[in-house]
Amino acid sequence: MSTLTTASAETRRTRLPTDLPPDAGRLAIGIFLVLLAQLMLVLDATVVNVALPRIGSDLDFGAAGLSWVLNGYSLAFGGLLLLGGRLGDVFGRRRVFLIGLAVFATFSLVGGIAWSAPVLVGSRALQGAGAALAAPSVLALLTTSAPDDAARNRALALFSAVASGGGAIGLILGGVLTDLVSWRWTLFINVPIAAVVLLTVSRYVDETPRRPGRFDVVGAIAATGGAVAIVWALIGVPDHGWASVHTIGGLAVGLGLVVVLAITERRVAHPLLRPALLRSRPRVTALVVMAALYGGMLAMFFVMVQLLEGRLGYGPLAAGFAFLPLPLSVFTMSRISPRLVARFGQPPLMVVGTAGLVFAFSRLITLDAGSGYWDGPFLSLLVMGLSAGISFMPITSLVLTGVEPEHAGSASGLLQTVQQLGGAVGLAIVATTYAEHSAGGFIDGAHAAFTAAAVLAAVGLVAATSLVVRRSPALAPAGAPVGAPAVD
């Protein structure tokens, strides 16, 4: 027995080192660097929100022009994501990631020293273009850098936490920098972070194989033009209205170009967006859920900032910290969600998460003139973070399940394009609803806006529930790695 026990112990000792590859530490650092870059790209969509009043006074923005500090970034980011994903597939994801990050950092610096309104808006647009080149490669680099399936699912959970909590972190960071230093540091802060990633990531992240083939020029023009036209039309809705020539014309052009894209992609040998990605009902449903949830959350930020700064009298710093329950709960759930996916699968968690967001938004409808922070927004922000943390990772995993490695960049670009379009749609709906009902006061407008956000979340809940009711063989088995084959 002693001999057997000794042999067993020696066997365990000799097997332990084989659980991880020799370069697991290097790969973990690579995953950290890529996620750091992704966090920077995501939070930049909101980091200047609480600084807008000071930006407007410093650079003499008009009331309408100030919105383009946000919209310029969103327009370029959302419009160029599909193109960025395909460029990564063709020319190597690490290469395109680094180029995009360099562009992003350069124009972060230019925006920080901007001396006029046009310079700042142009810099924000070019920041968005750099982000659109870098962001689609992030998921592909994460999945190829993970040493095993468990690490891959943990990386996906962290990516989802960054995607869902990054906006709130941007509001917190923006408030801190604006109050303690200057609004210009909301842009300057990107430069040292990007420099660290640019100088070190090649040491820790391997290049992906290039996929040679003719580039789909028509598809690239149609996809980029269509996304830009749709986002441009939607972000102008609060100013122009749904029935305006601006909105209807922009949507018509965008949808026309989407039709051109659909026809083109069925005929070319190397499409920008593979039609097969949209033939899986679970994948399409997951994209709908992502658009609905992301739209509801970004729209909520719009009204919540006005509630905190306008109604409760918070300054930028206090308003930023008021959002703290959201990212803290998101990142807490990101540690648990991989195990929950392995145990229950993606659809049940998506249902729980979407139901939680419906509750969080619905509770905000009960706010009244006497509500403070602790008996008002606090609980909703906490539930919102927990719900986003439990649902975003399963959505991302389901979208990427069954995608061949050579098309991972395109799938990632599609997912993030849907996020941006969902955010634009949600913000347009909620901002317009708020404007139409705020004649009777802030509370009336806020109630209508939060109702609209709850309806968006309810759309996601219905879509997620359909996956549970009609379980499909295309769904990944519990704990299945991203990229595993799916039966469509």
Question: What pLDDT is recorded for position 14?
Answer: 40
Mean of the pLDDT values across residues 106-122? 91
Q: Is the pLDDT of residue 17 over 50?
A: no
Question: What pLDDT is recorded for position 145?
Answer: 65
Question: What pLDDT is recorded for position 142?
Answer: 76
What tokens appear for 166 in the block? 């990054």
Confidence of residue 405 (pLDDT cuts 50, 70, 90): low
Question: What pLDDT is recorded for position 24?
Answer: 60
- Give the burial string for 264-294 (b: 16+ CB within 10 Å, else e): bbeeeebbbbbeebeebebbebbbbbbbbbb
Between 252 and 406, name the one with better pLDDT: 252
Q: Is the pLDDT of residue 60 over 90?
A: no
Question: What pLDDT is recorded for position 488?
Answer: 36
Confidence of residue 13 (pLDDT cuts 50, 70, 90): very low
Confidence of residue 101 (pLDDT cuts 50, 70, 90): very high
Question: What pLDDT is recorded for position 477?
Answer: 45
Confidence of residue 2 (pLDDT cuts 50, 70, 90): very low
Confidence of residue 176 (pLDDT cuts 50, 70, 90): confident
Mean of the pLDDT values across residues 130-148? 77
Question: What pLDDT is recorded for position 51?
Answer: 78
Q: Is the pLDDT of residue 485 over 60?
A: no
Question: What pLDDT is recorded for position 414?
Answer: 82
Q: Is the pLDDT of residue 53 over 70?
A: yes
Q: Is the pLDDT of residue 43 over 70?
A: yes
Q: Residue for token digits 């920041």?
A: 127
Question: What pLDDT is recorded for position 236?
Answer: 77
Tell me: the pLDDT tens digits for 433-469?
887 787 777 888 888 889 999 999 999 999 999 988 7
Confidence of residue 144 (pLDDT cuts 50, 70, 90): low
Mean of the pLDDT values across residues 305-330? 82
Please state, for a pLDDT cut of 70, what percent of the chain lies above it. 84
CATH class of 23-469: mainly alpha
Q: Is the pLDDT of residue 6 over 80?
A: no
Question: What pLDDT is recorded for position 246?
Answer: 87
The C-alpha atoms of residue 32 and residue 41 are separated, in whole angstroms, by 14
The C-alpha atoms of residue 451 and residue 454 are separated, in whole angstroms, by 5
- Helix residue ranges per DSSP H, 113-244: 117-145, 149-180, 185-188, 190-204, 217-235, 237-240
Between 37 and 71, name the one with better pLDDT: 37
Tell me: the pLDDT tens digits for 155-165?
777 787 787 67
Question: What pLDDT is recorded for position 355?
Answer: 94
- Helix residue ranges per DSSP H, 266-324: 281-306, 316-322
pTM: 0.76
Q: Is the pLDDT of residue 106 over 90?
A: yes
Confidence of residue 16 (pLDDT cuts 50, 70, 90): very low
State the DSSP H helix or E strand holding residue 71, giving kind and residue range, or none if neither: helix 68-91
Measured N-to-C along each axis, helices 149-180 and 117-145 cross at an angle, to the nearest 10 degrees, of 160
The C-alpha atoms of residue 258 and residue 158 are separated, in whole angstroms, by 32
Burial (CB count within 10 angstroms: exposed 0-12, middle 13-18, buried 19+), residue 240: middle
Measuring CA to CA, how many Å separate 416 from each of 164, 285, 482?
12, 15, 17
